[in-house]
Amino acid sequence: MFPVGWQLPVAGQWARFAVFPSKEYSELTRVCFFREFASASDSVSPMVTQKKLTAALFQRFQRLQRGFPLLPLFCGIHLLAYWLRFEGQLVEVGWRHLLVASLVVSGIKLFLFSWLRVDVRWSRFVTFHDLVTLAQAVTLSSFLILLTGYLAVPALQAPRSVFLMDWAITLLVVGAIRSLARLIQERELPLLRFQRSSPVIIVGANESGETLLRAIRRNRNLSQRVVGFCANDVSLLGAQLGGVPVLGMASETCQIAKSHQVSEVLIMSGELSGQTVRRIVEDCRQHGVVVKVLPSYEQLLRGTMNLRPREVSIEDLLRRDPVQLNLSTLHSWIDDHPLLVTGSAGSIGSEICRQLVQFAPSKLILVDQSETGQFFLEREIRSLAPDLDVQVYVADVCDQSRMERIFSDQKPGIVFHAAAYKHVTLMESNPSEAVRNITQASRLLADISHQNEVKSFVMISTDKAVNPTSMMGACKRAAELYVQALAAESSCRYVTVRFGNVLDSAGSVVPIFRQQIECGGPLTVTHPDMKRYFMTIPEASQLVIQAGAMGQGGEIFVLDMGEPVSIVKLAEDIIRLSGLKVGEDIDIEFVGKRPGEKLFEELHITNERHVATSHPKIMVAASEPKDLGQVRFEIERLLALGNESQVGLRMALQELVPEFDVSAAGFESRPMAA
């Protein structure tokens, strides 16, 4: 019996209670339980404490009860250790001594396994952490057995080699029991390894690839068997991941697949650049090897997607490296601030909202004309952030009184202005609407932000604003000039973020091509030489937020959009990815360049110079801001023309934006009358 005054940690107190349930420890046990489970508040109810005590005791009893079948196993292991130590001559030891020693040793092991919550059942989810916990329990039990033998139980006094062998055998046997189910589940036993008939190769010998390997092994619904990896790092050649060899480089995927008689190659979404995926797909297609994509590493960890292979998409072919965000800067900029997003139901606006809720804004204010879009976005945002205060407005950003009321009521600290018309051809035939929705609305929101002492104002622009040839692009450039000029006169940090097309946005080229394929074709392209810059919606939205946090006021940020993409090549890729042949199943038809369109988009205006920033994908288009009074005067003259004359609107806009090429829309450039 331990002395009454001997103090142990809380877990130790429970150990004493379980082994020595005498009256002298009842009060000590109650105090220890209160320390472990009760609140720091002095107002904790004794009834609540008693219920927690009962529940804890019941749980510990259940764990001990589940471990009772282990008693014969532990007894047998201890007897085996004696048998090995004494070379089978157990009579010399004495059967009574062996029986007492085995029962005491088994009891100590059972208690410690229960205390450390070591699960010894078969499990296909056993991990390295579980085996480490097992080793800790076995080691601690062996130490306690030795200590007990020398201090209290003469029957446990035996050669130390007995306890060493008992430790090793227990670790091996229990570890094998725990791991056997996983070995069977993952087909790692020799008799089960080749039951899956379809050999595959994983491109990407890294943590993501190893995660994918384990996921495939555990999923009974998949018919694949991984025979090797292809790596991007030459130093990994000859190495193994999870017992599977690295067979070669990613550039050699097709040749490796052929040499190993593999008919399917798996790529994890988001792990390879678009150029690498394109090269692998083209090589494998020529040799009849199928390339499929599985959910990304993050999606697997979050459990947001099923482990089902899908076909390669156009987004995979155009993918670029993930955006690296400066999270500390973003948190200090966003956290505890009310945020307002215009155009929140649009492709970019809605994604900005999704990205923002990952931080800790005090409020998110959604403004858009689309009732249906706002309805579904609100549902999504509330599911992503149930505790976030979300305010939804169905409103026109051109409505001055409505905008002033929203700003006055909600008092936003940061504004993201993403609302604007975007279709070039429609704005060419509706120029007054382009001026109203793009230039006038941007000026209105910028002025209201200044009046309401907004901290930051971030306006979304487009590469079509660079040397514009369309009303849409010229109106965006006019908005850029106004916001930049106002920044010099206001304490609000006004910044503009300029970028190109985004993939899969509503009404963009990729959904149109897919719709044309569903209708049997043809795919319509305006010109054989047409090229455009593309970004994914999440990439563009993340960089917009990062640029907004970096801005000090007056900057026009330009996002790194990579290399321009041939629209003809894009159409051909989409046809092939749909399992069809260009020119046989689906034709490509050239319909001619439309008014306001450019063959190539540009990154900067002639008088701008690009300056690098602290972020590799964000640059500044540096230029001198125009005089605010002059810009206001030009915009007022533009608005005064209204619907009077398309030619007049274009000429007035050219006065404000001299680089606007009105001839691209079929109009001649001539000076405005005073």
Concatenated DSSP letters for 524-578?
Answer: EES-TT-EE-EE-HHHHHHHHHHHHHH--SS-EEEE---S-EEHHHHHHHHHHHT
Lowest mean pLDDT among 3-17, 234-248, 502-516, 636-650: 3-17
For residue 35, name the pLDDT band (cuts at 50, 70, 90).
very low
- Angle at alpha carbon of residue 395, lines to 390 and 398, rounded to 5°: 130
Residue of 343, 384, 334, 383 whose CA lies nearest to 363: 334
Question: Rounded CA gap, 595 and 428, in Å?
Answer: 7
End-to-end CA distance of the chain: 108
- What pLDDT, in 10s, does the model give residues 208-231? 777 777 777 766 666 677 888 888
Are 364 and 393 in contact by the 8 Å Cβ rule? The answer is no
Does 464 qualify as catalytic in the annotation?
Answer: yes
Q: What own/partner pairs with CB < 8 Å and gap ≥ 24 does 330-335 have? A: 330/359, 330/545, 330/546, 330/549, 331/359, 331/360, 333/414, 333/456, 333/548, 333/549, 334/359, 334/360, 334/361, 334/414, 334/545, 334/549, 335/359, 335/360, 335/361
Lowest mean pLDDT among 159-168, 266-275, 510-519, 609-618: 266-275
**Is pLDDT at 674 greater than 70 in this prediction?**
no
What superfamily does domain 327-502+546-562+600-662 belong to in CATH? NAD(P)-binding Rossmann-like Domain (3.40.50.720)
User: What six digits make up the tokens of 214?
Assistant: 């384990």
- What pLDDT, in 10s, does the model give residues 166-205? 888 888 887 777 677 666 655 544 444 445 467 888 887 7
For residue 63, name the pLDDT band (cuts at 50, 70, 90).
low
Q: What own/partner pairs with CB < 8 Å and gap ≥ 24 does 110-114 have? A: 110/64, 110/67, 110/68, 110/70, 110/71, 110/74, 111/15, 111/18, 111/19, 111/64, 112/137, 112/140, 112/141, 112/144, 113/67, 113/70, 113/137, 113/141, 114/60, 114/63, 114/64, 114/67
Are 598 and 469 in contact by the 8 Å Cβ rule? The answer is yes
Cis peptide, bond prior to residue 412, ω within 30 of zero: no
Mean predicted confidence (pLDDT) in 303-332 = 72
Contacts of 392 (CB under 8 A, 6+ apart): 366, 374, 377, 378
Q: What pLDDT sits at residue 337?
A: 95
Question: Rounded CA gap, 663 and 595, in Å?
Answer: 9
CATH 3.40.50.720 is held by the domain 198-312:
yes
Instruction: List, as one string, the DSSP characters of 417-470.
Output: E------HHHHHH-HHHHIIIIIIHHHHHHHHHHHTT-SEEEEEEEGGGSS--S
- The pTM of the whole model exceeds 0.75: no
Mean predicted confidence (pLDDT) in 47-70 = 58
Question: Rounded CA gap, 412 and 393, in Å?
Answer: 14
Choose the catalytic residue: 258, 292, 411, 464: 464
C-beta neighbour count of 166 within 10 angstroms: 28
Question: Rounded CA gap, 596 and 201, in Å?
Answer: 48
**Is pLDDT at 381 greater than 80 in this prediction?**
yes
Mean predicted confidence (pLDDT) in 554-572 = 90
- Domain extent listing, the chain: 10-67, 70-185, 198-312, 327-502+546-562+600-662
C-beta neighbour count of 627 within 10 angstroms: 10
C-alpha of 392 from chain center: 26
DSSP classification of residue 497: E
Ramachandran region, residue 504 (left: φ > 0; alpha: ψ -120 to 50; beta: rest): left
Q: What pLDDT sits at residue 443?
A: 96
Amino acid identity, residue 591? Answer: V
Alpha-carbon distances, residue 391 vs 306, 377, 401, 442, 457 (angstroms)? 33, 11, 18, 21, 19
Question: Rounded CA gap, 171 and 175, in Å?
Answer: 6
- Angle at alpha carbon of residue 463, lines to 458 and 467, rounded to 5°: 120
DSSP classification of residue 246: E
| 62-66, 305-309, 510-514, 545-549 — most confident range | 545-549
Residue of 13, 2, 303, 31 whose CA lies nearest to 147: 2
How large a percentage of the chain has pLDDT more than 70?
Answer: 75
Amino acid identity, residue 667? Answer: F
Alpha-carbon distances, residue 165 vs 85, 132, 162, 656 (angstroms)? 8, 19, 5, 89
Question: Rounded CA gap, 505 and 19, in Å?
Answer: 67
Question: Rounded CA gap, 321 and 277, in Å?
Answer: 12
Question: Rounded CA gap, 440 and 224, in Å?
Answer: 58
Pairing of strands 531-532, 493-499: unpaired
Same fold, 198-312 and 327-502+546-562+600-662: yes
- Torsion, Cα 375 380 386 392, to 10 degrees, reads -30
- Torsion, Cα 656 659 665 671, to 10 degrees, reads 60
Lowest mean pLDDT among 139-143, 486-490, 565-569: 139-143
Q: What is the mean pLDDT of the chain?
A: 79
Q: What pLDDT sits at residue 7?
A: 35
Residue of 501, 499, 617, 503 whose CA lies nearest to 560: 617
Q: HSE on the CB side for 645, CA within 13 Å?
A: 9
**Which residue has tokens 């200044």?**
450
- What pLDDT, in 10s, does the model give residues 319-378? 666 678 888 899 999 999 999 999 999 999 999 999 999 899 999 999 999 999 999 999
Task: For residue 201, list its beta bridge partners.
Answer: 228, 265
Alpha-carbon distances, residue 654 vs 469, 624, 638, 670 (angstroms)? 10, 18, 10, 9
> Is 1 exposed, middle or buried (CB count within 10 Å of its CB: 0-12, 13-18, 19+)?
exposed
Mean predicted confidence (pLDDT) in 88-95 = 65
Q: What pLDDT sits at residue 84?
A: 80
User: What six digits make up the tokens of 48?
Assistant: 């609540």
Ramachandran region, residue 418 (left: φ > 0; alpha: ψ -120 to 50; beta: rest): alpha
User: What six digits make up the tokens of 178?
Assistant: 């725990």
Question: Rounded CA gap, 464 and 419, in Å?
Answer: 16
User: What six digits make up the tokens of 613?
Assistant: 């920033």
Q: What pLDDT sits at residue 32?
A: 41
- What pLDDT, in 10s, does the model give residues 238-256? 787 777 888 888 888 888 8
